[in-house]
Amino acid sequence: MLKIGLIGATGHVGYVLEGLREQTDAYLAGIAPGSHGEDMDSLNRRALQYGYIPELYPNYIEMLDTLKPDVVAIASHFNDHASIAVEALHRNIHVFVEKPVATTLADLDNVKVAYQNSHAQLAAMFGIRYTSCFLTVEKLLQEGSVGEVRLLHAQKSYRLGERNALYKRRETYGGTIPWVGSHAIDWLYSWSGERFTSVFASHSTRANQQHGELEATAMCQFTCTNEVMGSLTIDYLRPKQAPSHADDRIRIVGTRGIVEVMHNKVYVINEGAEGIQEAPLLPSQPIFADFLRQVQGRGKCLISSEQSFAVTEACLRARMSADEGRVVFF
Amino acid sequence: MLKIGLIGATGHVGYVLEGLREQTDAYLAGIAPGSHGEDMDSLNRRALQYGYIPELYPNYIEMLDTLKPDVVAIASHFNDHASIAVEALHRNIHVFVEKPVATTLADLDNVKVAYQNSHAQLAAMFGIRYTSCFLTVEKLLQEGSVGEVRLLHAQKSYRLGERNALYKRRETYGGTIPWVGSHAIDWLYSWSGERFTSVFASHSTRANQQHGELEATAMCQFTCTNEVMGSLTIDYLRPKQAPSHADDRIRIVGTRGIVEVMHNKVYVINEGAEGIQEAPLLPSQPIFADFLRQVQGRGKCLISSEQSFAVTEACLRARMSADEGRVVFF
């Protein structure tokens, strides 16, 4: 029976609560704040609604040392992910961590070293990969629906709404490319089948409606090995009249076809049929359950540690490119 | 009565033949080859089908000097546009020229100097701007449908098919960014409302199916004044099963809304209504007729000379960026 500790009440804690729903061999044993001022009462109430009765610890170090969880999930303020992950890895506790894994390259290095020196496993919360459309794309690519991938373009568009102070300072937020863009950079990285060789990016805080240092728009262009290329636009300018919070898209162009996610559908053009085909969708899966299966030796998580680190690094190099207005090489 | 001379049988000669269809004050007086080996017989037959009976000249210099046309349209091999335009401008003949105006920056400079020293007018064949969807976007932007533009992303996707030798050598073709991308770079330039400050681009000849130096994929990312940004993907990998030759798109994100062209429709999200609205489309217009109206002092062509030059320059700087793997500044 795996003991799960949840650290933080800020990021996608829902992945953990959902992922444990049908697990008979894992349970939420404890929760602890990961950052100063997190609302643990509210998290505790949510846990109770799911039927979990975790112990509440005053800080995560005490939880790690007293509870000795097998696995921790980390969803604190974004700039605290790395140091918490390091503490868990030092204790050989498996880590399921909010993306990006770190908000600075120095912090990322600390996590990588701690991981290499541990016997623990790690995956970042790239949960969109487990939604219906994106799992379907994964399958289509494996089946060779587009042939050899040559070009990818992704879109992240969110409503801004009113966000709290965490989002308004680079130091705590990390930036829009790492926070919002990381999902799409994960798609580009995973589905190009290549390594990134360089990135050029731009971002701007204009039109951010009093959100301080938060960038309302951004773009990244990655060059990859084998002359594959991937780009990405990000904006927080999706109007409130839009039919949903997010407008996530990706278009993957290969030598034998094109696959595209748009408006929660998957479209294919290839030799399979004339015209544009709508692909039948796979059901979504709970990401945390997939990670737990790997921890238990019963499978391989779709999100590897290598990829979690590589995508975080790519986010931070893209942010550096945008800050400095120059090409950054990998 | 304006005398029109058509030079070349390679590019969008249809713009000229169509544009003259309902002109009662202009006629196709002569045609001449612009480049070695152009099929003038076939062009002549097309002209006759439209009911025009142009005189056929053995070369364009002779046509310029003998016929003394008021306006020439230039649609020769792509690397000959510039020198032909210079000859016409030296004679104060108005120039309607295939895009890009030139395939090298040195050639572009020659055209600009000749233009500045002439009394002639000039516009490049950015004909997609005159199609139904794109005229509709123009109108929506003028009406303030998106507020202040902050981010633009465009797509050009074409079927490759079998292209002739002209397309297979950089020297004659100019490159995929200038030839295919110029349309989208025109949209970004015109609709950003800004000047370009830098570009980073990539391109690759991989997967070009024996088309020599033709790039099958490309990407450009422009930074603009006022931190506006615009990007673009180009590919020749649209499968033959696709429902059309081209899949042209643009998405324009502003402070108060989003306008998008896709699948020959225009979509709007803004305060005008809940959800995604489909905009009623304006009818398409013949681009050449618009230029002739300007020549006759009866209006202002949607495509200015300034823009024709600026977009050509942007194409060539983007190509330079892709060739050299570095940011190019304007």
Q: For residue B43, which phi and psi values (nearest 5 degrees)? A: -60, -45
Q: Which listed CATH number (3.30.565.10, 3.30.360.10, 3.90.1150.10, 3.40.50.450) goes with A128-285+311-329?
A: 3.30.360.10
Residues 6+ apart with CB under 8 A from A39: A9
Chain B partners of A235 at a C-beta cutoff of 8 Å?
150-151, 253
> Edge-to-edge strand order for the sheet containing B94-97?
B55-56, B26-32, B2-7, B71-74, B94-97, B122-124
Decide if pLDDT at B23 tops 90: no
Q: Tell me the per-residue pLDDT of A264-286, one tens digit each, with 9 for 90 and over.
A: 999 999 998 999 999 999 999 99
ipTM of the complex: 0.96
Determine, for residues A217 and B242 on separate chains, whether the beta-carbon distance falls below 8 Å: no
User: Residue B118's CB: how many other CB atoms inside 10 A?
Assistant: 18
Residue of B nearest to A326 (CA): B327
- Type of residue at B151: L
Contact B219 A229 (CB under 8 A): yes
When scoring B202, B223, B265 by the number of chain A Cβ atoms within 10 A, the one with the most, hence best to mutate, is: B202
Length of chain A: 330
Place of tokens 């696709």: B242
Which positions in chain B touch A227 (Cβ < 8 Å)? 202, 204, 206, 217
Q: Are A177 and A141 in contact (CB under 8 A)?
A: no
Low-confidence ranges of chain A (pLDDT < 50): none
> Domain boundaries in chain B?
2-120, 128-284+311-329
Query: B128-284+311-329 belongs to which CATH class?
Result: alpha beta
Burial of A192 (0-12, 13-18, 19+ CB in 10 A): buried
CATH 3.40.50.720 fits B2-120, yes or no: yes
pLDDT in tens, B279-321: 999 999 999 999 999 999 999 999 999 999 999 999 999 999 9
Nearest to B275 among A238, A243, A258 (CB): A243
Interface contact flag, B269 A237, Cβ < 8 Å: no
pLDDT average, residue stretch B14-21: 93
**Under an 8 A CB cutoff, do A274 and B326 touch?**
no
pLDDT of residue B22 exceeding 90: no
DSSP string of B255-300, one letter each residue: SSEEEEEETTEEEEEETTSSSPEEPPPPPP--HHHHHHHHHTTS--
d(CA B140, CA A264): 27
Check CB contact under 8 Å for A206 and B150: yes
Answer whether residue B99 shows pLDDT above 90: yes
